Amino acid sequence: MADLNKKTVAQLKALCKKQGLETGGRKADLVARLAAADDAADFTEADLKKKTVAQLKDLLDEKGLSTSGRKADLIARLLAGGGDDDDDGDDDKKGSGSNGKRRAARGGQATKKAKQAAAAAADDDADDDGDEESEEEEEEKEEAVVKRKAGSRCAVDKFCPMADRFHVYEDHEGVWDFTGNQTNIGQNNNKFYILQLLESDDKRTYHTWTRWGRVGVPGQNKIMPGTSLAACKASFMKKFKDKTRNDWYDRANFVKVPGKYDMVHIDYGADDEETAKHEEALKKKKKAQAKVKKVESKLAPSVQRLMQLIFDVKKMTQAVVEMKYDVKKMPLGKLRPEQIKAGYESLKTIEDLLKRNAGRRALADASSEFYTRIPHVFGMRVPPVIATTAMLQEKLQLLEALEDIKTAMRLIDQEGPDASEPEEDQHFRQLKCDLTPVEKGTDKFTLINDYLQNTHGSTHRQYTMEIVDAFEVDKDTGYKGGDNKMLLWHGSRISNWAGILSQGLRIAPPEAPVTGYMFGKGVYFADASSKSANYCFTNRSNNTGILLLCEVALGKQEERLSADSYLHQTLPKTKQSTWGKGRVAPDPKDTIVIDGDVKVPKGKLADTGVSNPHGYTLQYNEFIVYNTKQIRFRYLLRCKFNYKY
């Protein structure tokens, strides 16, 4: 440090250039930059193991770090490069009180050398730079009101106090932003780690920002000032390596390491230029809408209401929050397909363990992996072990909902800036389907309502349903038709319907477990309205649900009394669907035929006499097809669920 202070500005700049550091700034800046770069010098573990304990302590003392502990501790401390100030090992068990203060003190020691060097150099040139200093202070005051760079694809962490003057750095390698998640049920760990390389809006200053703690709370944080972009990159990459045991530049091939953080894959969307254009277009749209008279929608009022409902981001958020998903860690629409795929793979592992009657410890480890990949909020409670088929199915439903919500968010993001077109009309256009209101009192409405009311099961009497709005649907689903057509029910959460109407009903992907699907991976329908209505997951406070009536070409059916989760693989080639036979079904004598060959089983539910001599008997019929080209959307119902208790 003393040697650096003796050098001229020209010599310091030459050293900076040689080390690949920035050469701008005053003498104090150059000295601090070189000192910090020296602090950040990497050691290989092999080199450190060759040194004696005394030599290791000398290195630590030189860096202002603790010299206590065994040789292994000293080596680990040096490899961390002073980065253990945010060691989050006990974050789930300790608060941010005295422990946080001790960490802050250690963090202060790590930069002691650089601060001393900067102070000494500042004394050297204090007499020369008085005017320059005052000018820079004025510039900083002006910069304090500068917003983050337009077009940035990643927001600065909301707890960072510099968010108004800095943005997340991005280069040809991508966005320098990392969100990590780690769950360990055995240790009651459910924690996050955020790492960002921040660049000032004037592109002159760089810092590394970290925040860590238990999911659901702000946790602790630290700003690590950098002397250059290169130094901050080195700090960022080292921290990433420490927390994940993966290399930043090879993160495309990220591999989860036990005991380390998993990387949450974030979809940063369009490139910088496209994002900037999109943001500017949205600003123009809002300004234009504020100036012009509200434009009337071209849609029927009932269709407008439906668009408002299925594109309501708050309802989408509420749906997944009820399933414990962490929307703060992983905002809706930012979750990438590979993250959801990894979640399915974790559930597949749990399925295999359940089939083998594996012990609770193995299930706990697999559940921890799932929660690490798909962030959840459990407060201070221990994350529950996914140890039953019902719990597994619940998590499958979460992933399915996330897929549909991601589609809805993408549609919203794609909408144009035209202020002359109401938002509901833009939503509707994105769906690429026609919705024609079915008026009450018409024959069609009466038929649909009879089918709804007559087939409401006796085991679902906690609520009644009434149709608020009905629509005839015209959607290109690739329907090929076929024999044995029936009009059947399908229900789903409100949060899923923008995705369903835009992309059609989908079959679970190969990586998904089969346990949650009684008759294999397919699209499930019912001839009892309330059987499907239960999948709307309504309640007293959220009592609006959506049901779909589909024309399904069932063809020749495989009739089953017992579950077989692999039927999508083993269904005979001569069969086109599966019929899971229930003990009650619509009375066949009241079935009618519409459009020449589509059966509508609208009779009241009656006993079928079906009984499974080998075990559980289904209460209601289930119909499953394994090819979406056998499905045609016919009617969509917005229903009010009237709960009795």
DSSP-assigned states of every residue in 82-135: TGGGG--TTTTTS-SSHHHHHHHHHHHHHTHHHHHHHHHHHHHHTTT-HHHHHH
Q: Which of 399, 428, 457 is the last residue of a domain?
A: 428
CATH of the domain at 325: 1.20.142.10
More confident residue, 357 or 119: 357
Q: Say yes or no: 598 and 498 in one domain.
A: yes
Q: Say yes or no: 294 and 254 in one domain.
A: no
pLDDT reported for residue 289: 55
pLDDT reported for residue 338: 84
pLDDT reported for residue 114: 40
More confident residue, 277 or 139: 277
More confident residue, 412 or 428: 428
50 lies in a domain? no
Among positive and negative, which fits the CA dihedral 518, 522, 527, 532? Answer: positive
56 lies in a domain? no
Q: Say yes or no: 191 and 322 in one domain.
A: no
Residue 231 identity (one-letter amino acid): A
More confident residue, 290 or 244: 244
Contacts of 389 (CB under 8 A, 6+ apart): 354, 515, 516
pLDDT reported for residue 30: 72
Given pLDDT bands bounded at 50, 70 and 90, which one contains residue 43?
Answer: low
pLDDT reported for residue 280: 56
Strand pairing class (523-525; 622-625): antiparallel
Percent of the chain predicted with pLDDT > 70: 76
440 lies in a domain? yes
Average pLDDT over residues 134-160: 51
155 lies in a domain? yes
Q: Say yes or no: 201 and 248 in one domain.
A: yes
pLDDT tens track for 59-77: 665 554 567 777 877 776 6
pLDDT reported for residue 452: 98
Total of domains in the chain: 3
pLDDT over 90 at 110, yes or no:
no
pLDDT reported for residue 259: 87
628 lies in a domain? yes
CATH of the domain at 580: 3.90.228.10
More confident residue, 128 or 175: 175
What's phi and psi for 346, nearest 5 deg? -65, -40
Q: Say yes or no: 370 and 511 in one domain.
A: no
DSSP per-residue letters across 183-200:
EEGGGTEEEEEEEEEEEE
Contacts of 440 (CB under 8 A, 6+ apart): 467, 470
Q: Report the distance separating Cα 176 and Cα 69, nearest Å.
A: 34
Q: Say yes or no: 436 and 420 in one domain.
A: no
Q: Report the distance separating Cα 570 and Cα 564, nearest Å.
A: 9
Burial (Cβ within 10 Å: 0-12, 13-18, ≥19) of residue 340: buried
Q: Report the distance separating Cα 548 and Cα 481, nearest Å.
A: 18
pLDDT tens track for 151-163: 567 888 888 988 8
Is 559 tagged catalytic? no
Q: Report the distance separating Cα 208 and Cα 284, nearest Å.
A: 34
More confident residue, 65 or 201: 201
CA distances from 590 to 42, 202, 530, 582, 604 (A): 80, 75, 19, 18, 8
Q: Which of 370, 400, 428 is the last residue of a domain?
A: 428
Q: Say yes or no: 286 and 196 in one domain.
A: no
pLDDT tens track for 548-579: 999 999 999 999 998 888 899 899 999 999 99
pLDDT over 80 at 368, yes or no:
yes
Average pLDDT over residues 175-179: 92
pLDDT over 50 at 106, yes or no:
no
Q: Report the distance separating Cα 51 and Cα 56, nearest Å.
A: 6
Q: Report the distance separating Cα 31 and Cα 27, nearest Å.
A: 6
Contacts of 605 (CB under 8 A, 6+ apart): 454, 455, 456, 457, 458, 528, 584, 585, 586, 587
Q: Say yes or no: 241 and 296 in one domain.
A: no
More confident residue, 507 or 47: 507
pLDDT reported for residue 333: 62
Most confident segment among 15-29, 107-121, 235-249, 368-382:
235-249
Q: What is the mean pLDDT of the chain?
A: 80
Query: In which domain, by residue range, is 554 found?
Result: 432-643
Given pLDDT bands bounded at 50, 70 and 90, which one contains residue 613?
Answer: confident
Average pLDDT over residues 412-417: 69
Least confident of 12-16, 448-452, 509-513: 12-16
**Residue 155 Cα to chain centre, angstroms:** 15
Instruction: Give the active site residue among 415, 424, 558, 622.
Output: 622
pTM, 2 dp: 0.62
Count how many Cα atoms sit within 13 Å of the Cα of residue 377 in the half-sphere of its side chain.
16
74 lies in a domain? no
Q: Say yes or no: 458 and 316 in one domain.
A: no
Q: Say yes or no: 140 and 17 in one domain.
A: yes
46 lies in a domain? no
Q: Say yes or no: 409 and 456 in one domain.
A: no
Residue whose tokens read 């079906």 = 610
Percent of the chain predicted with pLDDT > 90: 41
143 lies in a domain? yes
pLDDT reported for residue 571: 94
Q: Say yes or no: 338 and 450 in one domain.
A: no
Average pLDDT over residues 310-333: 81
Given pLDDT bands bounded at 50, 70 and 90, which one contains residue 353?
Answer: very high
Average pLDDT over residues 472-492: 95
DSSP annotation of 597 reads T
Q: Which of 428, 456, 471 is the last residue of a domain?
A: 428
Cα dihedral 460→466→469→475 (10° resolution): 30
Given pLDDT bands bounded at 50, 70 and 90, which one contains residue 378?
Answer: confident
Given pLDDT bands bounded at 50, 70 and 90, which one contains residue 468?
Answer: very high
pLDDT reported for residue 94: 40
First vs last C-alpha separation in the chain: 76
